[in-house]
Chain A
Amino acid sequence: NAGVTQTPKFQVLKTGQSMTLQCAQDMNHEYMSWYRQDPGMGLRLIHYSVGAGITDQGEVPNGYNVSRSTTEDFPLRLLSAAPSQTSVYFCASARDRLNQPQHFGDGTRLSIL
Chain B
Amino acid sequence: AQKITQTQPGMFVQEKEAVTLDCTYDTSDPSYGLFWYKQPSSGEMIFLIYQGSYDQQNATEGRYSLNFQKARKSANLVISASQLGDSAMYFCAMRGDSNDYKLSFGAGTTVTVRA
Contact = CB atoms under 8 A, between A and B. Distances in A.
Nearest to A107: B43
Contacts, number: 60
Interface string B86-99: 00000101011100
A88 B37 CA distance: 16
Contacts of B104: 45
A49 to B, nearest CB: 10
Contact of A104 (B45, B50, B100, B106): B45
Interface residues of A, number: 27
A90 interface: yes
Contacts of A58: 102
Interface string B40-82: 0001110100101000000000000000000000000000000
A111 to B, nearest CB: 15
